[in-house]
Amino acid sequence: MNEGRYDIIKLGLRDSDVKKNKDGGGDPKYFGDCGNELREFLRARIKELEQNFRKDFTAYPDMPAVGKVRLKKEALAKSHRPNRIFNEKTCPIIGVDHFGELLIKVTPDRLNNLDRVIKETTSTRAEANITAIEDIVPNTISDVLAGVNLETMKKRYRENPNEPIKIQLFDYKDVQTNRKNKEIFNNLVTQIRAEILDTIRYSDTLISYKVRISEESALEVLATYIGVRKLAFFLDTKLSHQGKIRFCNPLTFQSYFKAKETGR
């Protein structure tokens, strides 16, 4: 053996040598007791969710609805997101809504699977996920209209029937489902004799449609379709009788009507 001479050893990594850390470090954090009372409450909410969307599932058997999971204030960190409970086998998370609210994809079979997991799981991480949940509720027409009353929408339409509306569909994080959603939406537009004036692409999945409707009843038809995420009038300006320009947010334009009623 030669003194001062060292052989070169080449080390290589195989795919099997690298293990993905799925759950992060440390023990899962519980945000309360994961006892029978909490589980039964959430199971009851799941049943209510299925009942709420029953007519929609019948009308559109190939389309999922969207529910909302409200998290406890102390569980808002992304590391506490309940992915063990809401996954591809149950009701996967497809986005976020208001602060602390997760959007989930909902079908009858997925709800049954979710109910079974919440009832039977003994996994510590799954139980910790359950304790992070404050409530499970449906996405409603109020969410679609961003809190604006439907009658207020109809009133605005009557004042200016030619004013177009902006519609955003849900992104289900699935190409096939998104394609089906767009197909049903296009059919609805045709059925109510509306017209898509323009398609505005902010990204591959964030798309808004500029639509002109022919009658006020179309607002309710479109706003109650389970594939629609948001519906509003486009951002515009209104000139008051005093010559001042009022800006109307498409999602919160109640101030416009209030100003007209008070004469301001």
Quick check: 115 and 42 in contact, CB under 8 A? no
pLDDT, mean of each 10-residue run, the chain (264 residues): 52 48 67 95 98 97 97 91 95 93 97 97 95 97 95 95 96 95 97 95 88 96 97 64 42 40 42
Give one DSSP letter per residue of 57-82, joined into a string.
HHH-TT--EEEEEEEPGGG-SGGG--
**pTM value?**
0.78
CB within 8 Å of 65: residues ≥ 6 apart: 53, 56, 57, 106, 107, 138, 139, 226
- Same fold flag, 31-139 and 144-262: yes
How far is residue 91's CA from residue 106's CA, in Å, rounded to a whole number?
Answer: 6
Closest C-alpha to 104, from 88, 115, 128 = 88
| Second-level CATH architecture of 144-262 | 2-Layer Sandwich (3.30)
The helix/strand/coil state of 238 is strand
Strand order through the sheet with 207-212: 195-201, 207-212, 165-169, 228-233
* Per-residue model confidence (pLDDT) at position 3: 57
Distances 91 to 85, 105, 115, 143 between C-alpha atoms, Å: 8, 5, 10, 19
Query: What SS3 state is found at 196?
Result: strand
Q: Which fold has domain 31-139?
A: Alpha-Beta Plaits (3.30.70)
- Secondary element (H or E) of residue 231: strand 228-233
Domain ranges of the chain: 31-139, 144-262
Q: Is residue 179 helix, strand or coil? A: helix
Cβ-based neighbour number of residue 128 at 10 Å: 21
